[in-house]
Amino acid sequence: EAGVVQSPRYKIIEKKQPVAFWCNPISGHNTLYWYLQNLGQGPELLIRYENEEAVDDSQLPKDRFSAERLKGVDSTLKIQPAELGDSAVYLCASSAGAFSANVLTFGAGSRLTVL
């Protein structure tokens, strides 16, 4: 069974340009997460979906970040316009439920470099 698939793996853009990341979770996993991981830091939650509903987006900078999960499966995270400080790894994860002890399966991440 394929794990969580993310693309692109790497993206280099100039500041003020838009960028989008795509995530395909594990089949049957209703809960999907987007995390931000800066160099040398642990992941920080950006948004959590239960099926197609964003149930926690309190940490998502809504002035430039947006996300969607149409049909409750794949998800896209967009940044427009990108800033230098957005350079980081964007991790997608999924789980079978939102219970705190649920296993999160992470994708390999999308590494963004903003020049």
Partner 1 sequence: TQLLKQSPQFLSIQEGENLTVYCNSSSVFSSLQWYRQEPGEGPVLLVTVVTGGEVKKLKRLTFQFGDARKDSSLHITAAQPGDTGLYLCAGAGAGSYQLTFGKGTKLSVIP
The residues of the shown chain that bind partner 1, judged by CB under 8 A, are 4, 40-45, 48, 56, 91, 93, 98-101, 103-109
Residue nearer to partner 1 on the CB measure, 27 or 58? 58
Smallest distance from the beta carbon of 93 to partner 1, in angstroms? 7
Question: With b meaning 16 or more CB within 10 Å and e meaning fewer, what string describes 72-98?
Answer: ebebebebeebeeebbbbbbbbbbeee
- How far is 98 from 54, CA to CA, in rounded Å? 12
Smallest distance from the beta carbon of 42 to partner 1, in angstroms? 3
Residue nearer to partner 1 on the CB measure, 43 or 79? 43
Smallest distance from the beta carbon of 86 to partner 1, in angstroms? 19
Residue nearer to partner 1 on the CB measure, 77 or 109? 109
Indicate if the alpha-carbon torsion angle 25, 29, 35, 41 is positive or negative. Answer: negative
Residue nearer to partner 1 on the CB measure, 52 or 56? 56
Residue located via tokens 């896209």: 76
Smallest distance from the beta carbon of 97 to partner 1, in angstroms? 9
- How far is 94 from 50, CA to CA, in rounded Å? 10
